[in-house]
Amino acid sequence: MTATEMEELFLIEYDRVTSFDAPGYTANEISEILSSAQEQLIFHTYNPLGNKYQKGLEEVELTTADLQELVSESNLTSSASQIGVLTNGRFFDLPVNHWLTLMEEVTIATDSCFNGAKGIVKPITHDEYTINRNNPFKKPAVNEVTWRLTNSGRRFELVTDGNYTITTYNMRYLIKPQPIITATGITVDGVAGPLNCQLKSTTHRRIVKYAVRIAAGITDAQMYQVKTIEQNSGN
């Protein structure tokens, strides 16, 4: 569907669930709602606890195909600036279009037989780092795991045990989708329309259902709860 067709379907479905007894929305507001709904669908697909199958993106073939247009990958080398890095840590600047991480591993350089091997990356919190950094049974190891902490919104910090170095940080990730904008003269997140949904057509009706749920929740909290239950049950 085009963005205009998604707007038309939204209006039909919104009137149906509200029995024509709710405030209308402008084209600009509908573009904002559709764009938010698109992100909600992606988050629910990405997070196993956020969808009715209780499975993540790559565990269900349909969802993998739905978001295929957003998948990208990069092999990163460490950042030019390492000011403030933790002991045995290295900063890696994220790709400019990085949004959600799907897969990550490191390529290792060491004097041992593991030279050139691929290593597992484990995301941890700063509290976990503080608690376990001196624990020989939980800290990073060349043949086990490299820790990854979020240093800021645009870079990660990888921590080793000091006995190996990281030559490349290999990442597969989702880029943030462009907004859905229904008409000329409308701007969402600084992007001017019109813009159609860049996801596969199989997602468009589901995005509209999410949008109706959002719109119903704005005007009626009880209706929001009803639509949430319907969404989680797959109706």
Given a cut of 80, whether residue 12 has pLDDT beyond it is yes
Lowest-pLDDT choice from 61-70, 82-91, 184-193, 204-213: 61-70
Q: What is the pLDDT of residue 205?
A: 95
Q: What is the pLDDT of residue 153?
A: 72
pLDDT digits (tens, 9 = 90+) for 27-52: 999 999 999 999 999 988 877 544 44
Mean pLDDT of all residues belonging to the chain: 86
Given a cut of 50, whether residue 230 has pLDDT beyond it is yes
Give the whole-angstrom CA distance, residue 76 versus residue 64: 24
pLDDT digits (tens, 9 = 90+) for 94-130: 999 999 999 999 999 998 888 889 999 999 999 999 9
Given a cut of 70, whether residue 1 has pLDDT beyond it is yes
How far from 194 is each of 6, 27, 30, 36, 209, CA to CA, in Å?
Answer: 12, 11, 13, 16, 21
Lowest-pLDDT choice from 58-72, 105-119, 152-166, 207-221: 58-72
Phi, psi angles (nearest 5°) of residue 217: -70, -30
Under the banding of pLDDT at 50, 70 and 90, the label for residue 56 is: very low
Given a cut of 80, whether residue 229 has pLDDT beyond it is no
How many CB atoms are closer than 10 A to CB 52? Answer: 11
Q: What is the pLDDT of residue 223?
A: 56
61 compared with 214, residue with greater pLDDT: 214
Q: What is the pLDDT of residue 19?
A: 76
Q: Which of 102, 148, 151 minimizes the C-alpha distance to 128?
A: 148
pLDDT digits (tens, 9 = 90+) for 145-194: 999 999 877 999 999 999 999 999 999 999 999 999 999 999 999 999 99
Quote the percentage of the chain above a pLDDT of 90.
64
Phi, psi angles (nearest 5°) of residue 70: -95, -5
Helix, strand or coil for residue 18? helix
Alpha helices for the chain (secondary structure H): 3-18, 27-46, 61-66, 126-132, 204-219, 221-233
Contact 188, 176 (CB under 8 A): no
The two three-digit tokens of residue 98, written as one number: 């990085």
- List own/partner pairs for 127-133 with CB under 8 A and 24 or more apart: 129/86, 129/159, 133/87
Under the banding of pLDDT at 50, 70 and 90, the label for residue 73 is: very high
Exposure on the CB side of residue 128, measured as CA atoms within 13 A: 12
